[in-house]
Amino acid sequence: MAFLPLFLATALSWTPTGLPPGKPEAPLLCPGPFLTPEQGRATLAQALERFPDLASWQAYSDHARARIQAGAGLLPWPRRTPLQPIVREKRTLAGYTVENVAFESIPGYFVCGNLYRPARASGLAPVVLCTHGHGKPVVTEADFAAQGRFTSSMQARCAALARMGAVVLSIEMMAYGESIAQVGQDAHKRPFSVTLQTWNAMRAVDFLLSLPGVDPTRVAVTGESGGGTQTMLLTALDPRVKASAPVVMMSSYFFGGCPCESGLPIHRGPDHFVSNAMISALAAPRPQLVVSNGKDWTQHNPEIEFPFLRRIYGYYGAAPRVTNVHLPTEGHDYGPSKRQAVYRFLADTLGLDRSRWLNAEGLIDETELTTESYRTLRVFDEARPLPAHAVRSVVELEKVIRGLQQAP
């Protein structure tokens, strides 16, 4: 999946009519509900008119990827520096194991997470990256339990997939969980969070593929809400991802309400426009499950966004590879029914074994899965603190990334 040089890509410029005007001499941003549902529908219709076949869509796809990469502050790509992984003691639970892990996505910044593996491996295992959405701020220490990778929902998702045969990594957003100790909570609201979170996800794939016993041809990613944004961006930009499942996020008119999603000009520029539905379409023809519900901005997926995705996938002769599970009575979460849909999709796509873990209703049984405390899941604590070379300033982190973008 090669990107066109920017000076060539300008010939492929396109923006739909009817967009709200941008601010003069400022990045063209698309915060939150930037469009109405009908405006979102209209932009997708214009896109299909402008790109009516595979050749025209592929050409614009290359252009859009280059613009997303540039808008995210990642053009050129930073150099991939040694991950310097930290892997803590393994805990064996009911059919799976858990290890607390960290790696340096850039020198001095530790991406913390948890690695879930099958208790008994058989052949090369597929890998799944799990991202998370936004949660309430940490005011007291107990609030960590309701954040990101520490939640019972995230733990259940990762553990169930590991029992089915995948190697699964959960990672946390910038300025969430353990990264608060490095950058503080307010750093999450800085536009640089788009840059770092996108790069962190790519380096997380590097980490997963560095593990022994994994299959580099079976890589998947899934996340909800802001984690769905990460899922779509990573899939669009990283061809190693072979399957994706964005949950309660994909929309043609809502672009993400946090600066970590829409704080940089990834969606819109002088010569490009991509809604999240169009970013989702950049996954084609790779298998994709879109999970939507009736109580947030994904409520129109069955009649607006999903037909657009099917049309784009149809250009590749791959329309059956994109599916939509819509839950009209549900809301904005990664709850049990949404997890079950993703389990089925990833089992079919990655060749996971569901049969051993089905309950009487034919669903993946989550009752034996353990919800561990956030203290148990931490990589760093009083006894094993952050290394002395850890960067503790967003300004310094940005300097490090920019330095890695320079020629060696």
Count other C-beta atoms under 10 Å from residue 119's C-beta.
12
DSSP 25-67: TS-----SS-S-HHHHHHHHHHHHHH--SHHHHHHHHHHHHHH
- pLDDT per residue over 183-209, tens digit each? 999 999 999 999 999 999 999 999 999
Residues 396-406: what's their mean pLDDT?
Answer: 95
- pLDDT per residue over 254-297, tens digit each? 999 999 999 999 999 999 999 999 999 999 999 999 999 999 99
Burial class (CB within 10 angstroms; exposed 0-12, middle 13-18, buried 19+) of 125: buried
- pLDDT per residue over 243-255, tens digit each? 999 999 999 999 9
- pLDDT per residue over 38-60, tens digit each? 999 999 999 999 999 999 999 99
pTM over 0.75: yes
- pLDDT per residue over 305-355, tens digit each? 999 999 999 999 999 999 999 999 999 999 999 999 999 999 999 999 999
Which domains, from first to last, does the chain contain? 86-377 (3.40.50.1820)
DSSP state of 200: H
Report which secondary-structure segment, H or E, holds 127.
strand 125-131
Separation CA 160–CA 135 (nearest Å) = 22
DSSP state of 177: G
Residue 158's pLDDT band (cuts 50, 70, 90): very high
Question: Dihedral angle at the C-alpha atoms of 262, 150, 345, 317, nearest 10 degrees?
Answer: 20
3-class state of residue 352 by DSSP: coil
Q: Are residues 227 and 155 in contact, defined by beta-carbon separation less than 8 angstroms? A: no
Count other C-beta atoms under 10 Å from residue 53's C-beta.
8
Separation CA 359–CA 157 (nearest Å) = 16
